[in-house]
Amino acid sequence: MLNGIKMGCRGWSWSVSVLARSPLYLLVVAALLAVWGWAGYEWLWLPESSAFVLLLALVWLLLLAAVAVAILAFTTAGASAAATGVEQQLCLRTSLGFGWGRYALTLTMSALAFLLAVAGAFCFGWLNDHALNVASFLTLHLRKPVSYVLVGEIFWTLEALFWIAIGGFLLRRLLVVWNTGWSRKKQPGGELLARPKRAVSLLTGLLGAGVFGGLAWLVAIWHPRVTPGFWDYVQLAARAAVVLLLVSSGWLFSMLSLARLSLLSPGKDHKATP
């Protein structure tokens, strides 16, 4: 376990250094997320006034899904190239060259993730609906008052950990299959790919979501007092830009760290130059 934590720390520090060398790539990813989010927001406002508009909404939704898969393939290609030493930083040219075969692979993994998300949402929704029953049961048997709010928070924490673990597993699998195919897990030199401990992958997800996601949440809910009018719009735009940069940084940090842990053999990890 200690060796796994040390390997994780090396991967995390390497990921931060690669991010620091790739400011243009970070800006491009943030811009892509901004455009995708704006398109999704506009889709929500499409009226259900006719069959033609409903058809347009369906086509728009499919395009949003296709673009989301393309963004995932784009960042996967960049993280994979950086982790395997093909590039010393996140490169736009390399990320754009993923091809239709790898797009189909990303689409397959995304469809699997969607099915797991639907099933998980149903299960955790059922649990949340029974938070009051669980609180009443614990109150009866412990003979101490147990708030259903506390039970709901416990369920929410378990759900968050579950999604981070599942997301890390699927991303690791995508990165490995992206480089080696479905059948074999060997590098050109014949060495077995490293299988990072699940705890290290979970910690990577927690760092990405907790640090970058937490900062993004704090910026999003922060409402500075400014003069109404022009400066109000300026602070809103500035906060939105910072949130997008933080979310993009967290996503790329997680992708780079998982790629570093998954695509390098244990013998090469400690010798690789940042």
**pLDDT tens for residues 203-239?**
888 989 889 999 999 999 988 888 888 888 899 899 9
Asked if residue 197 is part of any domain, the answer here is yes
Q: Which of 93, 13, 72, 22 is nearest to 245 (CA)?
A: 22
Asked if residue 274 is part of any domain, the answer here is no
Least confident of 106-110, 116-120, 264-268: 264-268
pTM: 0.84
How many angstroms separate the CA atoms of 123 and 159, rounded?
10
Asked if residue 7 is part of any domain, the answer here is yes
When comparing pLDDT for 251 and 194, which is higher? Answer: 251
Q: Give the pLDDT band (50/70/90) at residue 3.
A: low
3-state SS assignment for residue 186: strand
Longest dimension (CA), the chain: 64
Asked if residue 250 is part of any domain, the answer here is yes
3-state SS assignment for residue 191: coil
Tell me the per-residue pLDDT of 60-114, one tens digit each, with 9 for 90 and over: 999 999 999 999 999 999 999 998 888 888 999 989 988 888 999 999 999 999 9
> Which residues pair with residue 192 across a beta bridge?
186
Asked if residue 258 is part of any domain, the answer here is yes
Residue 31 above 90 pLDDT?
yes
* pLDDT at 184 (0 to 100): 52
* pLDDT at 191 (0 to 100): 39
Tell me the per-residue pLDDT of 242-264, one tens digit each, with 9 for 90 and over: 999 999 999 999 999 998 888 76
- Structural domain of 242: 2-269
Asked if residue 195 is part of any domain, the answer here is yes
First to last CA, the chain: 23
* pLDDT at 67 (0 to 100): 95
Asked if residue 84 is part of any domain, the answer here is yes
Mean pLDDT of 138-161: 86
Supply φ then ψ for residue 192, to 5 degrees: -70, 140
Asked if residue 246 is part of any domain, the answer here is yes
How many angstroms separate the CA atoms of 255 and 82, rounded?
10
Name 162's Cβ contacts closer than 8 Å, sequence gap at least 6. Answer: 120, 124
Residue 45 above 60 pLDDT?
yes
Name 123's Cβ contacts closer than 8 Å, sequence gap at least 6. Answer: none
Total number of domains in the chain? 1
